[in-house]
């Protein structure tokens, strides 16, 4: 108990130096936690993917379409429960800064495939009946203040022109992490317009979505679908929804690696700063350590005091950083919802923050601990004055 009191008192003997070190560690922990959360968000769509859903696209690239006629042939494959299809629309609302996902889908089968998008029966019926109708997520509707019946205009990029939609439904996610910043509208509305303006692009879809009867049939169904269209003018690549999402994540893998490296560099920098602080402290107290040894304290006692100071300072900064991470994440959730619709600090991230703080304390305390424990009495007393 005496040693514990001594460790705490010594840790904050130089208040300004200790406070600055604690604040520096806290800032590093906040940055480490937020960057780790950001990397995790990149994989959020992958983790939320269904094990029983498949995606079929053109084998060359997603930008190349597939014939609408493939739908009936896919439906006949054993193990296929539901088939839907759609196109990435890529429309712009107001300007490029107001980006959100928008897709043309076959509405009935799409809603069957994605039960996590919850609509009231009235809104669902209204959406299915109106060819120009659309549905949007709750977060997206709240962002722009949209209400049922509002007219939404998107400027087409992949499909040029001004496209008008009537808001018929606002869906909620079945879970907290469900995407609620997307707009979906009738594929038929897109196709009928293309027949008039760009006939060559009509009756083509960007991808098919397949629901299999059991998750264990996914590999078998994928091979069967691709075998049907092998050596055709538009060969297919069928993969699980998770693999499909991972394909998009792989495009930004270099960014993820860079973010992870930055998070580790932040911790290394604060380790160096903390180590320098502890080294200064140990150097100033060499005479004190020598005096304690003359009073009967052993090397292990000195080592415990010095190492304990380092751990106390590091943990103080770590706990402060963890406490401040939550309001920081909340601010990001509110102010940057367009880019981070879900920004939740996971328990694993908190554990990693504490481990990072402990690592800082351990590394920073190694040399001062060794120095204090091995200093000779005569050598230490010579430093007095």
- For the chain, domain boundaries: 2-44+253-381, 60-234
Q: What is the pLDDT of residue 383?
A: 56
Give the C-alpha separation, 136 to 146, whole Å: 9
Q: Which residue has the higher pLDDT, 248 or 160?
A: 160
Q: What is the pLDDT of residue 201?
A: 87
Res. 122 pLDDT band, cuts 50 70 90: very high
Query: Is-contact 248 72, C-beta < 8 A?
Result: no
> What is the percent of the chain where pLDDT is above 70?
82
**Mean pLDDT of the region 159-167:** 93
pLDDT at 371 over 90: no
**Mean pLDDT of the region 329-353:** 74
Res. 328 pLDDT band, cuts 50 70 90: confident
Indicate the burial class of 234 (C-beta count within 10 angstroms; 0-12, 13-18, 19 or more): middle
Q: Which residues pair with 332 in a beta bridge?
A: none
If DSSP codes are grouped into helix, strand and coil, which group holds residue 244? Answer: helix
**CA neighbor of 169 nearest in space, from 131, 132, 124, 130:** 124
Res. 153 pLDDT band, cuts 50 70 90: very high
- Residue identified by tokens 């990029």 is 157
pLDDT at 73 over 80: yes
Q: What is the pLDDT of residue 85?
A: 95
Res. 48 pLDDT band, cuts 50 70 90: low
Pair of tokens at residue 46: 């992958």
DSSP assignment of 157-191, as one string? Answer: TTTTEEEEEEEEEEEEESSTTS--SEEEEEHHHHH
**Angle subtended at Cα 338 by Cα 139 and Cα 51, rounded to the nearest 5 degrees:** 70
> What is the percent of the chain where pLDDT is above 90?
36
The alpha-helical segments, DSSP class H, found in the chain are 2-11, 15-42, 44-47, 70-75, 107-113, 121-129, 138-144, 187-197, 218-228, 241-251, 253-284, 286-294, 299-335, 347-374, 377-381
Query: Is-contact 185 131, C-beta < 8 A?
Result: no
Q: What is the pLDDT of residue 104?
A: 95
Query: Is-contact 50 282, C-beta < 8 A?
Result: no
Query: Is the C-alpha dihedral spanning 156, 162, 163, 164 positive or negative?
Result: positive
Query: Is-contact 65 245, C-beta < 8 A?
Result: no
pLDDT at 282 over 70: no
pLDDT at 384 over 60: no
Q: What is the pLDDT of residue 261?
A: 84
Mean pLDDT of all residues belonging to the chain: 83
**Mean pLDDT of the region 39-44:** 68
Pair of tokens at residue 351: 């554990």
DSSP assignment of 99-132, as one string? Answer: --EEEEE-HHHHHHH-TTEE--HHHHHHHHH-TT
pLDDT at 252 over 80: no
Alpha-carbon distances of 342 from 210, 256, 338, rounded to whole Å: 27, 18, 10
Instruction: Give the least confident one: 18-32, 185-199, 280-294, 338-352.
Output: 280-294
Start-to-end C-alpha separation, the chain: 31
pLDDT at 99 over 80: yes
């Amino acid at each position: 108990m005496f040693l514990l009191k001594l460790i705490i008192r010594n840790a904050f003997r130089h208040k300004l130096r200790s406070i600055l070190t604690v604040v520096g560690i806290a800032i590093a922990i906040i940055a480490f936690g937020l960057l780790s959360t950001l990397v995790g968000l990149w994989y959020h769509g992958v983790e939320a993917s269904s094990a029983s859903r498949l995606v079929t696209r053109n084998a060359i690239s997603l930008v190349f379409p597939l014939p609408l006629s493939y739908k009936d042939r896919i439906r006949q494959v054993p193990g296929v429960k539901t088939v839907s299809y759609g196109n990435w629309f890529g429309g712009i609302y107001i300007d490029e800064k107001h980006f959100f996902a928008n897709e043309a889908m076959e509405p009935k089968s799409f809603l069957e495939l994605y039960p996590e998008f919850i609509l009231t029966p009235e809104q669902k019926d209204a959406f299915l009946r109106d060819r120009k109708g659309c549905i949007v997520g709750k977060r997206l509707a709240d962002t722009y203040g949209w209400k049922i019946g509002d007219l939404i205009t998107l400027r087409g990029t992949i499909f040029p022109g001004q496209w008008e939609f009537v808001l018929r439904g606002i869906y909620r996610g079945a879970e907290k992490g469900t995407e609620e910043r997307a707009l979906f509208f009738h594929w038929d509305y897109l196709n009928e317009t293309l027949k008039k303006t760009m006939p060559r692009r009509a009756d083509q879809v960007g991808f098919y979505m397949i629901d299999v009867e059991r998750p264990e049939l996914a590999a078998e169904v994928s091979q069967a679908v691709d075998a049907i269209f092998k050596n055709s003018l538009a060969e297919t690549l069928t993969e699980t929804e998770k693999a499909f999402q991972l394909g998009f994540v792989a495009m930004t893998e270099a960014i993820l690696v860079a973010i992870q490296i930055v998070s580790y560099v932040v911790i290394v920098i604060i380790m160096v700063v903390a180590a320098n602080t502890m080294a200064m402290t140990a150097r100033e107290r060499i005479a004190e350590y020598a005096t304690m040894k003359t009073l009967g304290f052993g090397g292990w006692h000195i080592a415990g005091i010095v190492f304990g100071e380092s751990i106390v300072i590091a943990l103080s900064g770590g706990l402060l950083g963890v406490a401040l991470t939550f309001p920081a994440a909340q601010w990001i959730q509110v102010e940057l919802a367009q880019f981070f619709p879900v920004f939740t600090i996971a328990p694993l991230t908190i554990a990693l923050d504490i481990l990072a703080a402990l690592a800082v304390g351990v590394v920073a305390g190694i040399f001062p601990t060794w120095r204090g424990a091995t200093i000779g009495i005569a050598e230490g007393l010579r430093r007095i004055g």
